[in-house]
Chains A and B, each alone.
Chain A
Amino acid sequence: MDEGNTMGIIKTDKLTFEYIRRDEEGNVEGITRAVDEVDLDIRQGDFIAILGHNGSGKSTLAKHINAILYPTEGTVWVDGMDTQDESRLWDIRQEAGMVFQNPDNQIIGQVVEEDVGFGPENMGVPTKEIWERVEESLKAVGMYEYRKHSPNKLSGGQKQRVSIAGVIAMHPKCIILDEPTAMLDPNGRKEVIRAVRALNDVEGITVVLITHYMEEIIHADMVFVMDQGHIAMEGTPREIFSRVEELQELRLDVPQVTLLAHELRQKGVNLPEGILTIEEFTEALMAVPGC
């Protein structure tokens, strides 16, 4: 690929986004800094998680990556292309695909396979190749048998998987998922995260997952926690989960197993911080004298 290129697939430099707040009469009330001098450098093939409470700026940040929003200050590069370069707009959107939160509001086709083909149709891909891409994308997310179904009859998790297929049919280098599981039930959430992990592991697609469900980020390579538009914490999942009180102050929480370990540690039980799974917990507790 591009070994000589040291820039990551997604890079931002002092990315800032401000908007003007107006009152009912249209008078300027103030300026809100939704994103505040964010620096990111994401490598191809990474699984990145961006966490944050509602209003922290994580969705606003995400929308800069595929040029839905433009920075007020600073720059965003996708695969070396500046998002403010109008001539490369469609190349950027093809390289950085996006899946949104509401399963119904991003499905355009009346039949699953037609919806997945929408992206390639827009790109001018020849008919025969569209069908090949649709087939491979649906198979990659496990929805091939539903290709002739109406989207109305699918569950939330299935709809999101169809949307993911619709994005990967465009052959992007990275896929950004903006709270894709927020409106799903637990089973739907599992389906979607499983599909996303498979894309990252098997196909090597860079994944940027925006969420506030802590269980979903356990397998991420890197986690960024946002608060008031800037990055408040960054590190591996283990490093982030070690800082329980900080997370709680940022209106987030940790999985029950992490919290339990943390509370026991506070009572004097010698457990390591940043426990992610039940297996780790059991092992660590068994190693404590007195067990």
Chain B
Amino acid sequence: MIRDITLGQYYQADSVIHKLDPRVKLVATIGFIISLFVVDSWVGYVVAALFLACMIKLSKVPFGYMVKGMKAIVFILLITVVFNLFLTPGEPLVTLWKLTITKEGLRIAVMMAVRLSFLIVGSSLMTLTTTPNSLTDGMEKLMGPLKHVKVPVHEVSMMMSIALRFIPILLEETDKIMKAQIARGADFESGNLIKKAKAMVPLLVPLFISAFRRANDLAMAMEARCYRGGEHRTKMKPLCYRGADRVAYCVLLLYFAGCVAIRVWL
């Protein structure tokens, strides 16, 4: 039931993208997002669109899944478009009652919409093709150098993995506690905002206590299995770059160079 929710919506498939090292995908996603702000001409956006389309095709993830992520931001998208459309000063195109749509407004609104959509789809592509565990491993390896400036890279990564592991469990526990309180006549639905907030107490207090208890148990279990931080730890599944990863980096570099070139010369 609830335990079957896969966070980040990982989509199981056997594609070139799935098999890439998570670091490549992390760097690629960040690079892609930056490229969306480097580029600011129609040609640039077409190139970005083509790049994204190629990656989606290679990932073997159905297009429907990509668009799922868009549902969440439809509202923000709408607001961004409307604001930019009507509130940008410039050469007026159309006038509706007191509001004016300007040429600049139209241009900026479309650009913002495109950027936002591509950003969401690009990020979704990463989470759809990479398991949460690989992502935290990738981030840990990438942030490795920060260890030298006393950033607790390993600890942060461990915290993220454990949080991901326990979210389904805590969700299920929330459901259980809610049901137990409803069986005692609790009402989580009706009432104004203040009433609803107060109604959360019988849900949140037991949940917090349970979470702390689990954390305590888990810490003991980790210590019992000789966990003592990141020093001298080996990895069962160490991250190593392979041929495909190096090729991917080259492709990424070319794409980014292309974007910069388009910006400079067009």
Contact = CB atoms under 8 A, between A and B. Distances in A.
A80 B226 CA distance: 19
Interface string B215-258: 00110111111111000111111100000000000000000000
A264 interface: no
B171 to A, nearest CB: 11
Contacts of B164: 110
A110 B226 contact: no
A190 interface: no
Nearest to A63: B220
B133 interface: yes
Nearest to B236: A117
Interface string A204-237: 0000000000000000000000000000000000
A170 B225 contact: yes
A166 B225 contact: yes
A114 interface: yes
B236 A106 contact: no
Contact of B218 (A108, A109, A123, A152): A108
A147 to B, nearest CB: 12
B223 A108 contact: no
A200 to B, nearest CB: 19
Contacts of B19: none
Interface stretch (A29-37, A42-50, A89-97): A89-97
Interface string A126-166: 11001100100000000000000000110000000001001
B224 A134 contact: no
Contact of B225 (A113, A122, A134): A122
Nearest to B215: A105
B223 A152 contact: no
A155 B3 CA distance: 13
A108 B224 CA distance: 13
Given A68-B224, A90-B228, A98-B224, A121 B233 contact: yes
Nearest to A93: B226
Contacts of A153: 3-4
A125 B237 CA distance: 12
A53 to B, nearest CB: 21
Contact of B165 (A97, A109, A166, A170): A109
B152 interface: no
Contacts of A94: 226
Nearest to B220: A68
Contacts of A104: 169, 214
Nearest to A96: B224
A107 interface: yes
A102 B169 CA distance: 13
Contacts of A113: 236
A104 B164 CA distance: 14
A81 to B, nearest CB: 14
B234 A126 contact: yes
Contacts of B228: 90, 122
B175 to A, nearest CB: 14
Interface in A63-111: 66, 68, 90, 93-94, 97-98, 100, 102, 104-111
A110 B221 contact: no
A152 B169 contact: yes
Nearest to B227: A122
Contacts of A134: 236
Contact of B232 (A100, A117, A124, A166): A124
B225 A131 contact: no
B223 A110 contact: no
B234 A121 contact: yes
A205 to B, nearest CB: 16
A152 B1 CA distance: 11
A118 interface: yes
A106 B217 contact: yes
B168 A152 contact: yes
Interface string B162-184: 10110011000000000000000
Given A97-B225, A121-B233, A110 B220 contact: no
A134 B236 CA distance: 10
**Could you say which of B168, B222, B227 has the most chain A C-beta atoms within 10 Å of its C-beta?**
B227
5 pairs of A and B residues whose beta carbons are closest in the complex: A106-B221, A105-B217, A117-B236, A119-B225, A122-B226
Given A93-B223, A121-B234, A122-B227, 7 more contacts: A68-B220, A68-B223, A93-B225, A100-B224, A110-B165, A118-B225, A153-B3
22 contacts: A66-B224, A93-B223, A93-B226, A104-B169, A104-B214, A105-B214, A108-B161, A108-B222, A110-B164, A113-B236, A114-B133, A114-B237, A118-B225, A119-B226, A121-B233, A121-B234, A122-B225, A122-B228, A152-B3, A153-B3, A163-B221, A170-B226
